[in-house]
């Protein structure tokens, strides 16, 4: 069946060519087409910033600033691991912020009411999964536009977060819950552990499993994949649910680290993750992208934000700079797509 899918995708003029099966295909899925470029850009940026501000990577303070960047990126990477799968499959999800905030609020409210940690977390995750399932079914079965669908579920989930709290944060959680965000096994903080585990799993799924191949096939040529046996609707629904699950984990970790359930814990997380993935080589048209490339793209976005703060650049201009970088990445992706038919 895999050979048939590959043949169909290669023969379709409307879809970008799929990578060949085998070792080269797996390496391409692991590293993507832009990973090496992003690695060079990141290293060059680190060298430049080290010259401009010695505290950017200053060993005298134990690389404290670099550790802050790693933790910040780790929190975003929890969602990135699942979002890359969704992007490669040709979809995206703007409801992430609402799901993160809703999960943290529901879990926190239940903890404050006296429910034990496991049940409170289970309830929060269950609500997030419902949102992911609604997104997937609405886009696949009802053929609703993914932009408007996920914007709608973002408003709903964000509204639930505000409705439960009435704008007032919940505080004072059990230590067992706080440890979810602050424990440091082997001296490494928990968000980094979560991010590493999820990213490794995501790399393996995309590079080594049938589901990963079906994700690429679905994003490369949805109808061609459907004609050759790929259950594209199921692939899409699962991908949306995985993003919701990752968002739920992120919401729980944020609540644990803040020791508070805040209705607006995150703002712009979805855009940071999608932008980082696109900068790292994920195509908004689907069919292309890798976890490693997306991670390097997110790292660049994190460093750029941190560098802007260290150089005392106004937050308003920071937004402008990030926007220009995203526009350049999207433009490069569009130009690459225009050249494919002529190749």
Instruction: Name which of 199-208, 250-259, 319-328 the model is least confident about.
Output: 319-328
- 101-128 per-position pLDDT tens digit: 999 999 999 999 999 999 999 999 999 9
Proportion of the chain in helix, strand, coil states, percent, rounded to 5? 75, 0, 25
pLDDT above 70 as % of the chain: 87
Predicted confidence band of residue 274 (pLDDT cuts 50, 70, 90): very high
Residue 29 is predicted with a pLDDT of 59
CA 141, 144, 146, 149 torsion: positive or negative? negative
Q: What is the DSSP letter of 324?
A: H
Q: What is the DSSP letter of 263?
A: T
Number of structural domains (the chain) is: 1
Residue 34 is predicted with a pLDDT of 76
CA distance 341 to 13: 7
First vs last C-alpha separation in the chain? 27
CA distances from 22 to 31, 208, 288 (A): 14, 10, 17
Provide CB contacts within 8 A for 244, sequence distance 6+: 93, 95, 99, 128, 129, 131, 132, 133, 135
Give the position of tokens 């919401």.
251
Other C-beta atoms within 10 Å of 333: how many?
18
Provide CB contacts within 8 A for 206, sequence distance 6+: 29, 30, 84, 85, 88, 212, 215, 216, 290, 291
The residue range of the domain holding 19 is 2-339
CA distance 342 to 337: 10
CA distance 327 to 167: 35
Identify which of 124, 298, 287 has the alpha carbon closest to the alpha carbon of residue 199.
298
Tell me the pTM.
0.87
- 187-225 per-position pLDDT tens digit: 999 999 999 999 999 999 999 999 999 999 999 999 999
Predicted confidence band of residue 297 (pLDDT cuts 50, 70, 90): very high
Residue-averaged pLDDT of the chain:
87
- Residue-wise over 198-233: b if at least 16 C-beta within 10 A, else e? bbeebbebbbeeeebbbbbbbbbbbebbeebebebb
At residue 163, does pLDDT exceed 50? yes
At residue 8, does pLDDT exceed 70? no
Contact predicate 224/12, CB 8 Å: yes
Residue range 42-66: mean pLDDT, rounded: 79
3-state SS, residue 144: coil
Residue range 60-67: mean pLDDT, rounded: 70
CA distance 39 to 17: 25
CATH at residue 301: 1.10.3470
And the tokens for 170? 């919940």
């Amino acid at each position: 069946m895999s050979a048939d899918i590959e043949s169909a995708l290669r023969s379709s003029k409307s879809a970008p060519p799929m990578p060949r099966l085998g070792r080269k295909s797996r390496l391409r899925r692991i590293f993507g087409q832009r990973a090496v470029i992003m690695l060079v850009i990141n290293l060059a940026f680190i060298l430049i910033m080290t010259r401009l501000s010695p505290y950017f990577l200053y060993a005298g303070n134990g690389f404290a600033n670099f550790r802050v960047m790693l933790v910040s990126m780790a929190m975003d990477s929890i969602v990135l691991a699942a979002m890359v799968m969704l992007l490669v499959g040709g979809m995206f999800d703007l409801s992430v912020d609402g799901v993160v905030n809703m999960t943290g609020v529901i879990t926190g409210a239940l903890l404050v009411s006296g429910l034990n940690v496991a049940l409170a977390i289970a309830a929060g995750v269950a609500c997030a999964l419902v949102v992911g399932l609604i997104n997937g079914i609405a886009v696949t079965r009802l053929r609703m536009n993914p932009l408007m669908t996920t914007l709608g579920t973002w408003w709903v989930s964000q509204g639930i977060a505000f409705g439960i709290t009435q704008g007032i944060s919940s505080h004072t959680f059990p230590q067992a819950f706080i440890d979810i965000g602050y424990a440091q096994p082997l001296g490494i903080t928990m968000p980094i552990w979560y991010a590493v585990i999820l990213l490794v799993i995501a790399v393996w799924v995309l590079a080594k499993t049938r589901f990963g191949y079906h994700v690429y096939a679905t994003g490369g040529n949805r109808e061609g994949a459907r004609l050759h046996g790929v259950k594209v609707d199921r692939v899409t629904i699962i991908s949306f649910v995985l993003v919701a699950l990752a968002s739920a984990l992120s919401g729980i970790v944020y609540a644990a680290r803040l020791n508070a359930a805040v209705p607006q814990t995150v703002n712009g997380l979805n855009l940071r993750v999608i932008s980082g993935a696109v900068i790292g080589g994920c195509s908004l048209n689907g069919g292309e992208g890798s976890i490693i490339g997306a991670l390097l793209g997110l790292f660049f976005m994190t460093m750029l934000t941190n560098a802007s703060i260290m150089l005392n650049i106004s937050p308003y201009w920071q937004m402008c700079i990030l926007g220009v970088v995203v526009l350049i990445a999207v433009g490069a992706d569009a130009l690459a797509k225009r050249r494919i038919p002529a190749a």
